[in-house]
Amino acid sequence: MQRFESSAQGTAGVPYETFCEEVMSAFGAELMVLAPTGDGDYAYLRFGSELIRNVGADRVGERISTMAPQVARFTSACYDQALADGMPRYTVHRSLKTVRVYLWERLIMPATGRDGRRFLIVFGRPLQFREELLTTVLDTSPCGIVALQAVRDDDGNIERMAIITANRRAATIAGRDGEDLMDGDAQASLSFLSDATVWRRCIYAIELRRADMIETSLICGSQTIWLQIAVAPLGNGLVLTITDVTSLTVANQMLQSRAATLALEIGRERATRRALTQEIDQREEREQELRRLAETDPLTALLNRRSFTEKANAAIVACEESRAEMALIVVDLDHFKAVNDSHGHPAGDAVIRAFADLLLGLVQTDYDLIGRFGGEEFAIFLPRADLGVAQRTAQRIQQALAARRLPVSETLSLKVSASCGIATHRSGETLSALIERADRALYRAKNDGRACIRVAESRISAAA
């Protein structure tokens, strides 16, 4: 967006040839280029490799009119607006359930070529969970599950919440059996949210980043339904897990008035509580899985950079209090681009997964942290470890790579090497400064021929 703003020329957008030359090298894998066809449609002129991997096909030569009608209309309207006023557009849309990625975010940037032709340069990437996993979690749940996204005004205040997904059980509990609740207004679609107390507690859960458990009731026809709602903040929204506990509530009420059948009622109540406990345990397992997905890299199951940073910062505080030593290793696979170029991106993904498994086998302890920083770069944080321990760990990694080939498929395995940069923590040093020093050591290892280890601000090194 910054590059677009610095190059934009009014309603013409950016100069097409110059802008492509500037951004393709850095972002080409996630960029598509389209041109108007003159008949109200748009044709793909370019479709980046990451988009091909996620969609499962190369769409060069195709038109947007071949997409699902609702998505095609939405996309065409956004493209028309961008070309008309020369302004970029940020969009979020849901694709077909048959493709690998369900939710996308896109930045649409209009451009004009030297010959006056108009183009659209579009940056696209997956926004949220893969649909097949989310569908499985939702469809097998005995509870109602609803994900809400907060819609804020210019001052950052929550105006309303939109439903971004909801399972069939949630629609049934809300008295909208058979209806598709997605994209609807939460308060209008979910009657229990019209209760001011319930709504206020949901707002608090988002703003304070704090889970909550709410019990409420609603009138459905002539029947009172009692609900237990587990509220968990997620991003700029909430996940609601809704359990219909009407049977339990009614059983408890009847228990108070039926002393003559006390033993029978107690048995029923215990059975209901066991069933409720099982449901809550299942809900907690699903919530733990959702939290794990938010904290881990989807390709390797290692910590993602955000989660790695949070846990490493906490470990630094604990180690400084106990005056324990700490070390960081940054590992980068050598010549990884050649793997993608020679064998394709699926092979590159397989190499990254195999290397992540190797790291888990060599490094993982109760204290160590392993994260994927992106691409082929990994980080290993070693609390309670000095320079000698970090060097031996890096040497074990390189020795393991030298002794084996990483499996790519049943018929292909590849020989891979890695460069390592090591930095030991200094008193009072922040994690970002520690990472920066380890990165500089890694850069020296790359310049010294790769497949070697370099220590930050030290001459100590070890051959692969």
Residues annotated as catalytic (active site), given as ranges: 376
Q: 362 — phi, psi (to 5°)?
A: -100, -30
Place of tokens 């907060």: 150
State how far the Cα of 333 lies from the Cα of 376, in Å rounded to an integer: 6
State how far the Cα of 360 lies from the Cα of 238, in Å rounded to an integer: 32
State how far the Cα of 421 lies from the Cα of 442, in Å rounded to an integer: 4
Q: What is the DSSP string of 419-455?
A: EEEEEEPPTT--HHHHHHHHHHHHHHHHHTTSSEEEE
Which residues, in sequence order, are CB contacts of 127 under 8 Å at separation 6+?
92, 103, 104, 105
Decide: 13 and 121 in contact? Cβ < 8 Å: no
State how far the Cα of 168 lies from the Cα of 141, in Å rounded to an integer: 9
Q: What is the DSSP string of 51-110?
A: HHHHHSS--TT-BGGGS-HHHHHHHHHHHHHHHHH---EEEEEE--TTSSB-EEEEEEEE
Q: 272 — phi, psi (to 5°)?
A: -65, -40
Structure tokens at 68: 């699902």
Place of tokens 């074990």: 396
